[in-house]
Structure 1
Amino acid sequence: MEEIALYLFKSGICLSLCYGIYYIFLKNETFFKFNRYFLLAGIFLSIIIPLFNFTYTVQVTDPIFNKNSVLNPAKTTPAILSYLQFGLLVYFVVTFGFIFNYLLSLRKARQLVSQHYFEVVDRCKIIYTNQFNTSFSIFNYIFLDTDIASSVVEQRLILEHEKAHVIQKHWIDMQIAQLVRIFQWFNPIAWLYLKAVRQNHEYLADQTVLQAGNSGATYRATLLNHSLQSRVFNFSSSFAGDNPFSRIDMMKKRTSRETKKWSILLLVPCFSLIFFAFATPDYQTSKNKVNPGTAVKAKAHLPIYVVNGVETSSIENLDTNEIKSINVFKGESAIARFGEKGKYGVIAVTLKTKP
């Protein structure tokens, strides 16, 4: 349970970092193909990176650290665990709801396709229908509204726009971004990320139409004429389904400098920070190794023990009930009473009865 929650949390942070870099440095630039690959890379990085666990080594010594408390940290208390289980239960219920709605949309799209005849033009399956008040594309199908009041030129421009979506396979990006939004519905950035992917697709399609030699003024006028259209499916590409004014502004912008692409290098310190923040310590115990010379030196600095005037190596085995008094001598007083061997201190014990 904890692993699932931690993975979702780290994945959400990774996705947010990628979106932040896109929003600040790339969103208003004109290299749309590069932006498309960057947005896709951000999705895959947010999926893959949280799968790796990074550790750093911490050396500890046995006498100081308790093996049970340090090497085996205490597990989450039952109360906290119950809150976590409840939160994950809510998460899975809502997620399954989004998945069910997504599958229903796919089924509806399939039924819609099966109800119409289509003609194949440049690998695109074109369906002419008056069932909707908009033109849009789903996968490799293009639905053109036959009732819309527009000129032949406008209809051709709309068709070229939707063909660009199909030929460039924008539907693949849309499905991936849709799935990310489904599994990260709790993360507002996931919803903004889907919107960014869709908007960049519109920029790409607009760029394709204009690079084909069509009049920019005529194309922008066509976009404004159809700006009130609404999207039929969340995963469809609609000619004027997104903000047409931002698209018109982007059409009139000068080509961005290639050097601005280097802003993606900011991902390196950002992800390094994530690795550091979520790295777990790997405690390794080590025993103090003392060579013989050091051991002798350490022993020479120990005080001596004297029991009833007789020097002894230890007083651990003495019966405390038999001890009458304990005197500690240090410095000059110890040397004066016990000689040079008492220079590191003397602990003198007097027993009630002589041994």
Structure 2
Amino acid sequence: MDVIVNYLFESAVILGFLTAFYRLVMHYEPTFKFNRFYLLSALLLATVVPLISFSIYRTMVPEGEVYVGNVLETITVYAQNTKAVVVPVVAQSAAFKWLYIIGCGGLMLRLLYGFIRLGGLAGQVNLVNFKGYKVADLPGQFNPFSFFNVVFVNQSRYSDEELEQIMIHELTHVRLKHSWDVLLLELLLIVQWFNPFAWFLRSLLKELHEFQADQQVLEKGYSAKSYKELLLFQATGARLLPVNNFNQSLTKKRFTMMKKDNIQKIFSLKSVFAIVTLSMVAVLFACELRDVPPELTQEESEMKEAIENSNAQLKSGTGEVFFIVEKMPEFPGKEQGLREYIAKKVKYPSEAQAAGAFGRSYITFIIGDDGYVKNVEVARSSGHTILDDEAVRVVSSMPQWKPGKQRGRAVNVSFTIPINFSLNGGDDIKEQRAENAKKYSPEEQAQMIEEYKEKGVDIVFGDDGSIATITVNKKGNATPVAN
């Protein structure tokens, strides 16, 4: 039901916008062929565009994504000194569902009744051929009308000259296939019966049909005066002269259009404006803008995860903590001094070296308003507790910093520092990242799981076939692979 309601909503909006544009810009322009094209295009767009969807993708960081934090430059420690409404509410309404079905059913019965009534009228008379078309001479007081290739008229009500004008008028409807327009609009009304713009479009197109047929009568050489007298007779049933205070709405509009200067057809720029409007509506309603998060490198992905974990840890703590302040905290010896301190103090655990353990630990900590380090935690693990513990030990042992200040007041400031543990100058980490990016078949995954298990290593694969996690288990001290 959601899909149906969404379709009806978009269709109603498109139809409303294009109909309003026509009424304000094109309505009284004597470019009848183009006006008909516009109205039928509006009908087509309102019917088809909600069914079409194409996406335009733009790369950007999604709104609300947490990617804020103070990440210091990576410090690498070498072993042995080596190198990501309305619609649902309406759709769930049972009252709307039944009301809509009743409305559609009522208009469908109305259309069927119209067909049956026309068939009954046609069956009461003999149809006479006239210039390849059929004419039904019916008794009674009604205005002549046509339906597809049949013209219905009471010939006894009109003079020969009036009948000539009537036939020109009605055969124009037949020749231009106006009945198809009417039928399409009736089908639209069945679906969009609740939309006032659908009913308005119906009256506008019916009005335009009359303008086109009137134009043909005048172009055949009949005077506007005599033709207006005929229209007045059809509207009132009396032989009247066309006077200024005549107020039959449609007939009065038809009189007005007879006075329009046809030169406007050639030079009007409104037609171009209308085409642009149709095109823009089609594109804007069919187009869907989608945001695609940028693809991150392995290092960026790790950093993003570490920052988010750090932020989550801060939220669970107490006290006010800043990321950026007017005067940032300062390590004794500044940034270079911090790097030298970490590199000097971190000792690559011998057990980790023997097991071949390597990886990158992201450690988050706070420089308090007193300058001392506190709340030291692992934001993202290297995959090996022994390495993480060493990184936490060293960061916790850092000497007092010069505290950060905000508006002259000493405050708490959060930092995250990545510490690499590498066995051969960092090549091991690069090689492992390249291996992690590979995609393995189910057969290859099964074989690798067995091989790694024999070495005392647990390996887990992701849904895409790439390596998700690899950790050293308690059974052995074989070479692990860092995430």
Given the two structures, how large is their TM-score scaled by the length of structure 1? 0.71
The question of 1:254 aligning with 2:324 is answered no
CA contact (8 A) 1:32 1:204 kept: yes
Deviations 1:18-60 (A, max 9, x none): 2122212221011111211221111112112111223343547
SS at match of 1:227: helix
Deviations 1:272-322 (A, max 9, x none): 78338x72535446334449xx9xxx999679689xxx7567876699xxx
Structure 2 partner of 1:104: 113
- Output the CA distance in 2 between the equivalents of 1:226 and 1:303: 102
Structure 2 partner of 1:49: 49
SS at match of 1:193: helix
- Kindly tell me: are residues 36 and 200 of structure 1, through their superposed partners in 2, closer, same or farther at Cα, counting changes over 3 Å? same
- Output the CA distance in 1 between the equivalents of 2:91 and 2:9: 18
* Paired AA for residue 149 in structure 2: N
CA contact (8 A) 2:173 2:209 kept: yes
Deviates more, 1:49-58 or 1:157-166: 49-58
- Output the CA distance in 1 between the equivalents of 2:416 and 2:135: 101
Structure 2 partner of 1:243: 250
SS at match of 1:254: coil
Deviates more, 1:255-264 or 1:35-44: 255-264
Deviates more, 1:125-134 or 1:186-195: 125-134
CA contact (8 A) 2:134 2:151 kept: yes
- Kindly tell me: are residues 118 and 263 of structure 1, through their superposed partners in 2, closer, same or farther at Cα, counting changes over 3 Å? same
CA contact (8 A) 2:155 2:163 kept: no
SS at match of 1:329: coil
CA contact (8 A) 2:50 2:285 kept: no
SS at match of 1:158: helix
Deviations 1:205-240 (A, max 9, x none): 1111111111221111111122137xxxxxxxxxxx
- Kindly tell me: are residues 25 and 290 of structure 1, through their superposed partners in 2, closer, same or farther at Cα, counting changes over 3 Å? same
Structure 2 partner of 1:136: 145
CA contact (8 A) 1:203 1:247 kept: yes
- Output the CA distance in 2 between the equivalents of 1:302 and 1:50: 59
Aligned-residue offset at 1:172? 0.8
Structure 2 partner of 1:178: 186
Larger Rg: 2
The question of 1:14 aligning with 2:84 is answered no
Structure 2 partner of 1:194: 202
SS at match of 1:35: helix
SS at match of 1:120: strand
Deviates more, 1:257-266 or 1:32-41: 257-266
CA contact (8 A) 1:117 1:127 kept: yes
The question of 1:264 aligning with 2:264 is answered no
CA contact (8 A) 1:54 1:275 kept: no
- Output the CA distance in 2 between the equivalents of 1:143 and 1:305: 99
- Output the CA distance in 2 between the equivalents of 1:345 and 1:121: 92
Structure 2 partner of 1:220: 228
Structure 1 partner of 2:314: none
SS at match of 1:223: helix
The question of 1:274 aligning with 2:344 is answered no
Given the two structures, how large is their TM-score scaled by the length of structure 2? 0.54
Equivalent runs, 1:108-187 vs 2, <5 Å? 108-148=117-157, 150-187=158-195
Structure 1 partner of 2:399: 329
Number of residue equivalences: 302
The question of 1:40 aligning with 2:40 is answered yes
- Output the CA distance in 1 between the equivalents of 2:278 and 2:172: 33
- Kindly tell me: are residues 48 and 269 of structure 1, through their superposed partners in 2, closer, same or farther at Cα, counting changes over 3 Å? closer
- Output the CA distance in 1 between the equivalents of 2:125 and 2:224: 33
Aligned-residue offset at 1:201? 0.5
- Output the CA distance in 2 between the equivalents of 1:84 and 1:282: 31
CA contact (8 A) 2:36 2:205 kept: yes
- Kindly tell me: are residues 39 and 141 of structure 1, through their superposed partners in 2, closer, same or farther at Cα, counting changes over 3 Å? same
Larger helix fraction of residues: 1
CA contact (8 A) 1:17 1:270 kept: no
The question of 1:27 aligning with 2:14 is answered no
CA contact (8 A) 2:128 2:134 kept: yes
Deviations 1:256-283 (A, max 9, x none): 242322221341574178338x725354
- Output the CA distance in 2 between the equivalents of 1:3 and 1:216: 52
RMSD: 4.0
SS at match of 1:137: strand
Aligned-residue offset at 1:184? 0.8
Aligned-residue offset at 1:194? 0.7
Aligned-residue offset at 1:3? 1.5
Structure 2 partner of 1:92: 101
- Output the CA distance in 1 between the equivalents of 2:116 and 2:153: 20
Unaligned 5+ runs, structure 1 = 230-240, 334-343, 347-355
- Kindly tell me: are residues 29 and 8 of structure 1, through their superposed partners in 2, closer, same or farther at Cα, counting changes over 3 Å? same
* Paired AA for residue 261 in structure 2: R
CA contact (8 A) 1:165 1:201 kept: yes
